[in-house]
Amino acid sequence: MMEIIKLLGIGMILGISNVIPGVSGGTMAVVFNVYERLLSVITINVKKILSEWKFVLPLGLGVVFGIIIFSKVITYLFTFYPVPTNMFFCGLITGSIPLILRKIPGRRTQKLKPSIIICLLAAFALMTVMLLLSPEESSIIYTDMSFSLFIRLFVSAALAAVAMIIPGISGSFLMIVLGMYTTIIASVSNMNIPFLIPVALGVMFGLLFGARLVTFLMSRVPAQTYGAILGLVAGSLLLIFPWRGFVESYEEGLLIIISAVSAVSALIGFFLAYASSKNET
């Protein structure tokens, strides 16, 4: 019973994180150590899915509940308390880094291979580039369906779904880059079926392709893959860290208060992630 409750809670966090630009659902899956198991059940093999129903059902319900029930709460927190909320996620991510290090094969018996370090640095550099290219969110909401828009919605949703699989990359952020975030969010909110069809098809295609890609890499080059994951997860801190929020709090004379609350939020997130994974390998 406790395991079911735990999976429901993890699913809620995954659902919430997947609708927040800059926050990676893949990273949260790594944080709570369900990443590899989640990859294994993203398949067209119905027997495999049914055999893991005790994992899939509570986690899936948690994701749905997280999106539907808690998205408004998170939106409220990000609107009125953006700095402490971002710092909580920064703490979660930082607390997961020891777990990722432990998962790199051969780390304890030998030095990290140059190829692992190269993958780590390349992934971290990718996140740095994403920060530099970070656009302002597009406010355009498309309302008239066309063939070209259908393709754009499908491609955007597919790429975002692949991004959700990869730790450190935010699917919602990628939607913003592609200019489809507000349209897709509005479609989900309004249950606009003609718009949701290409989005749903794109998500299914992206999840299956992304899961297969990551599973392939983990089976062939596990050390280098986890090195890249570590770089992506560490680099995601650059995207989530509330740089502008701290500057604004300084200008408003609230830096000390905001910093204190943010530090507590970050510590709570850190210990939550670290405690949940310290006994995992």
Please, what is the Cα angle at 262 between 281 and 24, to 5 degrees? Answer: 45
How far apart are alpha carbons 62 and 66 in whole angstroms?
6
Q: What is the DSSP letter of 279?
A: T
| pLDDT tens digits for range 212-224 | 887 788 788 888 8
Give the least confident one: 100-109, 196-205, 263-272: 100-109
pLDDT of residue 121: 93
How far apart are alpha carbons 206 and 210 in whole angstroms?
6
Interval 182-210 mean pLDDT: 83
Read off the pLDDT band of 137 (50, 70, 90).
Answer: very low
| pLDDT tens digits for range 166-179 | 776 667 766 766 66
Q: What is the DSSP letter of 234?
A: H
User: For a pLDDT cut of 70, what percent of the chain falls above it?
Assistant: 84
| pLDDT tens digits for range 103-121 | 777 665 556 788 888 999 9
Give me 263's structure tokens: 């530090």
| pLDDT tens digits for range 59-95 | 888 888 887 777 667 667 777 888 898 898 888 778 8
Higher pLDDT, 22 or 113: 113
Number of Cβ within a 10 Å radius of residue 9: 17
Give me 218's structure tokens: 């983990």
Read off the pLDDT band of 264 (50, 70, 90).
Answer: very high
Give me 26's structure tokens: 């893949």
Cβ atoms of 210 and 166 closer than 8 Å: yes
Please, what is the Cα angle at 172 between 77 and 135, to 5 degrees? Answer: 90
Read off the pLDDT band of 139 (50, 70, 90).
Answer: low
Higher pLDDT, 280 or 57: 57
pLDDT of residue 276: 62
pTM of the predicted structure, to 2 decimals: 0.66
Length of the chain: 281
C-alpha dist (Å) from residue 49 to 40, 44, 155, 156: 9, 8, 26, 26
Give me 31's structure tokens: 């944080």
Please, what is the Cα angle at 10 between 28 and 75, to 5 degrees? Answer: 70
pLDDT of residue 134: 59
Give me 126's structure tokens: 């990718």
**E strands of 40-154, at which residues?**
none
Place of tokens 């392709």: 209
pLDDT of residue 263: 93
Of these ranges, 39-43, 93-97, 176-180, the one predicted with the greatest mean pLDDT is: 93-97
Listed in sequence order, the residues at least 6 apart from 237 whose beta carbon sits closer than 8 Å to its beta carbon are 90, 93, 94
How far apart are alpha carbons 212 and 263 in whole angstroms?
38
Listed in sequence order, the residues at least 6 apart from 259 whose beta carbon sits closer than 8 Å to its beta carbon are 246, 249
Structural domain boundaries in the chain: 2-277
